[in-house]
Amino acid sequence: MELPRSFEGTDALPVDAVPAAVRAAALASRNSGEPVGGYLYDLAAATERAEGLVRALPSRAKVFYAVKANSFPPLLTTLAETVHGFEVASVSEARLAIAAAGKAGKIPRLVVSGPAKNPTLLAGLLALDSPAGHELTINVESILELHRLSRAVSGHAPGREVPVALRVNPERSPVTIDHSHGLTMGGLPSPFGIPEPQIPAAVRALGSLPGVRFVGFHLHAVSGNMDADLHAQYVRGAIDWAVRTADAHGLELRTIDVGGGLGIPFEPGPEFDVAAFGASIDVPDGVELVLEPGRWMAGPVGWYATEVVDVKHAYGEVFVVVRGGINHFQLPTSWEIRHNFAVVPIDDWPIGLPRPTAERARVTVSGELCTPEDVLARDVTVDRVRAGDLLIFPNAGAYGFEFAMPAFLGQPPAWRTALTRPAIPRPASRVDDLSNFR
C-alpha cells in the first residue's frame, strides 16, 4: 500500500466548495455525541446524473449501475427509477439490487461480473427470487467457470437456460489510454476475462454445454477515463470486435457489454463529456449495448466528513489526526490519488482544554489506526485547522464506505446519511432546512 500522492503545498479547498446543505448536515451529525465520521449522499444529484447519461446515449444503449461502487440501499432505490439495471458481483449485491428495483416498481435486470465465480456463488445466483421475476445475464470469465455454471444449472435449475456473455481480455485494447486520462486494462496479463486466443475454445464449450446460452461479449478494458472522444473510440472498437467475432463463429449477437470506465476529476478540470460520448456511438440493430458506470454515477454525489481529533507538530511537520481514516475512507491511499478537502471551522470548544492549531501550514491528514499507512492527504496547505474542526472530502460517493477496511482495530464504522431534498445548487447559497435530511 502506497501513501496518497503529495499535494506539494497546494491549498485546501475553500469552505464554499462544499455545498451549504452538506456542511449543515455534517454539523448536525455532531449531535450524536460521537466524533464526526461518515458519508453524506445527495440522492437528487444521483438522479440528475443518471438521467443525463441515459438521455445522452443511443436508445439501444442501456445503463447498468455498478453496485460495487456504492451499495447504499437508498441510493440504489433512487437509481433504480432511472437506470435499466444493475451490475453485481455477489449474491449479496444481487439481493440489494433486486430489492431496490422492486421498491421502484421495476423488474430487476442484473448482469453478474467477477473473476472467481465459485460453485456456491453460481448456485446462489440461480436461487435468487423476486416477486415480479428478474432477468439475469452472467459474464463468464473462464472455460472452467462456464462448465461450473452449466453444472450449477443442471443441479439447481434443470430446464433453465442462463444467458451468458463471454468476458474477453483482448490481445490489444481498442485504444491506448495514458494514465492522465485513465487506465487501460485490456491486452495485459490479468485474472479478468478470457484471453482472446482462448475465445474459440470458449465458444465451442458454450455450444456443447446444457443450460447456458450465448448472448454476447463483455469487454471491460478501460477504467477512470476522462477523455470522452477516446472512450467513444474504445466503445466503437469493442463493438467492431464483437460483431466480427460473432460473425466469424456464426453466433447470434444480442449483447455487447463495454463495462464502465467513465472517470471523474479528483482535481480541478473538466468533467467527462457524456453528450459528446453518446453522440459518437452507433449501436448495431438487434444489439443491446450495456454500460456499467459506477464511479461516474456515485462519486460526485457523496462527501466524507470527519472530525479533527488532534493537531500534532512533530519535527517540522504538522499532522492533522482525524476520526476515521482508511478504516472509513481508503480510496486516496489505495488508488494513490490526491483527494483534497475543505476545513469547516467549529467555534465551540470545551472550556479548559488546550486546542492545538496550525495556521498557514502544510499538513498531512492521518487517521485513528495504529499504522503509518493511515493517511488521507499529504502536504496540503491550510489557512487554519484546529482540533474539533471538520474536514469534508468531496467526490467520495464511490469506492468509499464499501472500499474501506473497517475491521482493523475495531474502531466505529463510518455512518451513511442520504440528503433527500431537491438537488443541491452548485455553489450552494443557503443552508437548507435540516428536517429534509435523514
Query: Tell me: the pLDDT tens digits for 375-388?
Result: 999 999 999 999 99
433 — pLDDT class (breaks 50, 70, 90): very low
Distance CA 438, CA 436 (A): 7
Distance CA 185, CA 175 (A): 11
Domain check: are 237 and 269 in the same one? yes
Number of C-alpha atoms within 13 angstroms, CB side, residue 370? 5
Q: Closest Cα partner for 365 from 334, 404, 329?
A: 329
In this prediction, residues 339-352 reach a mean pLDDT of 96
Domain check: are 203 and 311 in the same one? no
In a domain, 204, yes or no: yes
Residue 432 reports pLDDT greater than 80: no
In a domain, 115, yes or no: yes
In this prediction, residues 82-100 reach a mean pLDDT of 97
Question: What is the reported pLDDT for 223?
Answer: 83
One-letter amino acid for residue 209 of the chain: L
44 — pLDDT class (breaks 50, 70, 90): very high
Look up the CATH number of the domain holding residue 428: 2.40.37.10
Domain check: are 324 and 351 in the same one? yes
Domain check: are 387 and 412 in the same one? yes
Domain check: are 35 and 79 in the same one? no
Look up the CATH number of the domain holding residue 241: 3.20.20.10
Q: Closest Cα partner for 293 from 397, 190, 215?
A: 397
In this prediction, residues 271-294 reach a mean pLDDT of 97
429 — pLDDT class (breaks 50, 70, 90): very low
List the single range of 16-20, 126-130, 161-165, 273-277 with lowest mean pLDDT: 126-130
- Compare 437 and 332 and report the one with higher pLDDT: 332
One-letter amino acid for residue 295 of the chain: R
Domain check: are 284 and 309 in the same one? no
133 — pLDDT class (breaks 50, 70, 90): confident
Q: What percent of the chain has pLDDT over 90?
A: 82
Question: What is the reported pLDDT for 93?
Answer: 98
Domain check: are 187 and 267 in the same one? yes
- Structure-block grid coordinates of residue 101: 428495483
Residue 261 reports pLDDT greater than 60: yes
Each residue's pLDDT tens digit, 388-420? 999 999 999 999 999 999 999 999 999 999 986
Note whether 37 and 411 are within 8 A (CB): no
What are the phi and psi torsion angles at 401 (to 5°)? -55, -45
- Which of 250, 271, 293 corresponds to the end of one domain? 293
Looking at every residue in the chain, the average pLDDT score rounds to: 91
434 — pLDDT class (breaks 50, 70, 90): very low
List the single range of 9-18, 176-185, 359-368 with lowest mean pLDDT: 176-185
Question: What is the reported pLDDT for 175?
Answer: 59
Domain that holds residue 240: 71-293
* Residue located via cell numbers 452449466: 150
In this prediction, residues 63-73 reach a mean pLDDT of 98
Q: What percent of the chain has pLDDT over 70?
A: 92
Q: How far apart are the first and last CA of the chain?
A: 35
Three-state SS string over the chain comes to CCCCCECCCCECECHHHCCHHHHHHHHHHHHHCCCCEEEEEEHHHHHHHHHHHHHHCCCCEEEEEEHHHCCCHHHHHHHHCCCCEEEECCHHHHHHHHHHHHHCCCCCEEEECCCCCCHHHHHHHHCCCCCCCCEEEEEECCHHHHHHHHHHHHHHCCCCCEEEEEEEECCCCCCCCCCCCCEECCCCCCCCCEEHHHHHHHHHHHHHCCCEEEEEEECCCEECECCHHHHHHHHHHHHHHHHHHHHHCCCCCCEEECCCCECCCCCCCCCCCHHHHHHCCCCCCCCEEEECCCHHHHHHHEEEEEEEEEEEEECCEEEEEECCCCCCCCHHHHCCCCCCCEEECCCCCCCCCCCCEEEEEEEEEECCCCCCCCEEEEEEEEEEEECCCEEEECCCCCCCHHHCCCCHHHCCCCEEEEECCCCCCCCCCCCCCHHHEC
Domain count, the chain: 2
**Neighbour-count burial of 3, counting CB atoms closer than 10 A to its CB (0-12 exposed, 13-18 middle, 19+ buried):** middle
Residue 146 reports pLDDT greater than 70: yes
Largest interatomic CA distance in the chain: 80
Domain check: are 398 and 271 in the same one? no
Domain check: are 274 and 407 in the same one? no
Distance CA 148, CA 269 (A): 46
In a domain, 358, yes or no: yes
177 — pLDDT class (breaks 50, 70, 90): low
- Compare 298 and 3 and report the one with higher pLDDT: 298
Note whether 56 and 275 are within 8 A (CB): yes
In a domain, 203, yes or no: yes
Model's pTM, two decimal places? Answer: 0.92
In a domain, 64, yes or no: no
Residue 27 reports pLDDT greater than 50: yes
